[in-house]
Amino acid sequence: MKVIILGCGRVGSTLARTMYKDGHNVTVVDLLSESFRRLGTKFKGQRVVGNGVDEDVLKRAGIETCDIFVAVTQGDNRNIMAAQIAQTVYNVPKVMTRINDPVRADAYRQHGIVTICGTTILSGLIRDYATTDEWALEKDYNRDYLTSNA
Amino acid sequence: MYIIIVGGGNVGYYLAKTLVKTDHEVLVLEKNRLIHRTISEELGEVVMQGDGCEVRIMEEAGAERADAIVAVTGDDEDNLVICQMAKMHFNVPRTIARVNDPRNEALFHRLGIDATVSSTKIIYNLIEQEIETDEVIPLAALRRGNIEIVEIEIGPKSPVLNRPIQQLPLPTDALVISVIRLDHGMLPTADTIFQVGDTAIALVTADKEHELRDVFAEAHG
């Protein structure tokens, strides 16, 4: 599958590495070329420098033919705008966006955008572990991450 | 009307300064504490410090009863989200966004923003009007319907002189709506005849503009 990942921070670069290792055709977009250092040496996917809400940059990243578009930059609003461009203008089959503000995340989720809110997920996991000694996800995803580095 | 302006930069500041002189109720939201302090010294209580992208701040600002939200920050993505949240969360009837990259105008309309303003595009259009060598000068474009209002100077060599409007080979989607003669505007009839020095104002669909141009074009050389 052709995947575009917008934002090469901790989340974006980790996602890029694991999906690349799974055999996907991965393109990473970031404003700063030095962010691509986080991808390490094993990542052989495409790297595009540019602003993710600029349609020229998105076209260069191959948005017209991609199957999955993920927006995980630091900026909620940038993610929201990029996700809407991917979904509304380019009809990308699967679009996901990170929105850290729970209020905005909820509004856009209701508006039909697949939204992941790091704030509510983290606080939920912490609350579960603190009060019940169980957490749903952490172990498995951590193993995935460790094997992608091996 | 209660108008909330998000962004206290130059655009927001002068907009607020102009609006407070009218009967409208105005509030400017500025995120940056320093800028907030500077403009509130002059504008007083109509300035509030806070991030207009945050629903909590917009609630404090009274977005529920706002008649219009104007987002004029320097970032297009922020202006988009401010306007969309105003619509989705507060049902604000009218949202206006400043668009820094003119290519975003069409996108913003598609994503539900009522009106967009691009200073880049306005200045570009003015420059185009100033350096326009043709007789047909675009005055304004209507947002919907793809219709333009154009101005046409009638010179001494114009092919439309001495013939009533009904005999001119005007394209089907063009209408002469006014003739200005010696600073006096009049509504033309089918029998109106153009004179040298007249200015014609016409409505025309964008795709027929060049046909209209051909009708009025002076025989050069």
pLDDT digits (tens, 9 = 90+) for B145-186: 678 888 888 888 888 888 888 888 888 888 899 999 988 888
CA distance linking residue B176 with residue B82, whole number of Å: 41
B95 φ/ψ sector (left φ>0, alpha ψ -120 to 50, else beta): beta
Whole-Å CA distances, B80 to A137, A143, B47, B69, B112: 34, 39, 21, 11, 9
Confidence of residue A146 (pLDDT cuts 50, 70, 90): low
Average pLDDT over residues B39-54: 92
A111 with B88: Cβ contact below 8 A? yes
| pLDDT recorded at residue B35 | 93
| Residue B221 scores a pLDDT above 50 | no
One-letter amino acid of A27:
T
Q: Which residues of A touch B103 (CB under 8 A)?
A: 55
Is residue A81 within 8 angstroms of chain B, CB to CB? Answer: yes
CA distance linking residue B73 with residue B99, whole number of Å: 9
Average pLDDT over residues A25-48: 96
One-letter amino acid of A1:
M
| pLDDT recorded at residue B2 | 96
**Above pLDDT 70, what percent of chain A?**
90
List residues of B whose CB lies inside 8 A of any A CB. Answer: 53-56, 75-78, 80-81, 84-85, 88-89, 101, 103, 107, 110-111
| pLDDT recorded at residue B31 | 95
Buried b (16+ CB within 10 A) or exposed e, A23-46: ebbbbbbbbeeebbebbeeebebe
| Residue B48 scores a pLDDT above 60 | yes
| Residue B207 scores a pLDDT above 50 | yes
Average pLDDT over residues A6-31: 96
| Residue A13 scores a pLDDT above 80 | yes
Average pLDDT over residues A9-28: 96
Please report where in the chains the tokens 């919907």 appear, as a residue. Answer: B144
| pLDDT recorded at residue A150 | 56
- What are the pLDDT digits (tens) for A108-136? 999 999 999 999 988 888 888 888 877 76
Average pLDDT over residues B115-142: 75
Domains assigned to chain B: 2-118 (3.40.50.720), 129-216 (3.30.70.1450)
Minimum distance, in Å, between the CA of residue B106 and any CA atom of chain A: 11
| Residue A33 scores a pLDDT above 70 | yes
| pLDDT recorded at residue B131 | 66
Confidence of residue B144 (pLDDT cuts 50, 70, 90): low
CA distance linking residue B31 with residue B42, whole number of Å: 17
Query: Minimal CA–CA distance to B204: which of B157, B145, B161?
Result: B145
CB neighbours (10 Å) of residue B210?
Answer: 13
| Residue A48 scores a pLDDT above 50 | yes
Confidence of residue A7 (pLDDT cuts 50, 70, 90): very high
| pLDDT recorded at residue A39 | 95
φ, ψ (nearest 5 deg) of residue B163? -130, 135
- Smallest CA–CA distance from A86 into chain B, residue: B107
Name, in order, each residue with C-beta under 8 angstroms of A1's C-beta and a sequence gap of 6 or more.
A24, A25, A67, A68
Domain positions in chain A are: 2-117
Minimum distance, in Å, between the CA of residue A18 and any CA atom of chain B: 29
Q: Which residues of B touch A89 (CB under 8 A)?
A: 107, 110
Is the pTM here over 0.90, yes or no? no
| Residue B127 scores a pLDDT above 90 | no
- What are the pLDDT digits (tens) for A67-96? 999 999 999 999 999 999 999 999 999 999
One-letter amino acid of B65:
R
Whether domain A2-117 has CATH 3.30.530.20:
no
| Pairing of β A2-6 and β A68-71 | parallel
- What are the pLDDT digits (tens) for B53-74? 999 999 999 999 999 999 999 9
| pLDDT recorded at residue A124 | 84
A43-57, A60-74, A130-144, B188-202: least confident range:
A130-144
Buried b (16+ CB within 10 A) or exposed e, B60-76: ebebeebebbbbbbebb
Considering only the beta carbons, identify the residue of B75, B78, B85 that sits closest to A107: B85
Length of chain A: 150
- What are the pLDDT digits (tens) for B28-43? 999 999 999 999 998 8
Whole-Å CA distances, A143 to A18, A124, B210: 11, 20, 65
| Residue B126 scores a pLDDT above 80 | no
- What are the pLDDT digits (tens) for B178-191? 999 988 888 998 88
Q: How does the average pLDDT of chain B come out, rounded? A: 88
Q: Which residues of A touch B81 (CB under 8 A)?
A: 76-77, 80-81, 104
Confidence of residue A12 (pLDDT cuts 50, 70, 90): very high
Asked if B95 contacts B86 with a C-beta cutoff of 8 angstroms, the reply is yes
Sheet containing strand B94-98, strands side by side: B47-49, B25-30, B2-6, B68-71, B94-98, B115-117
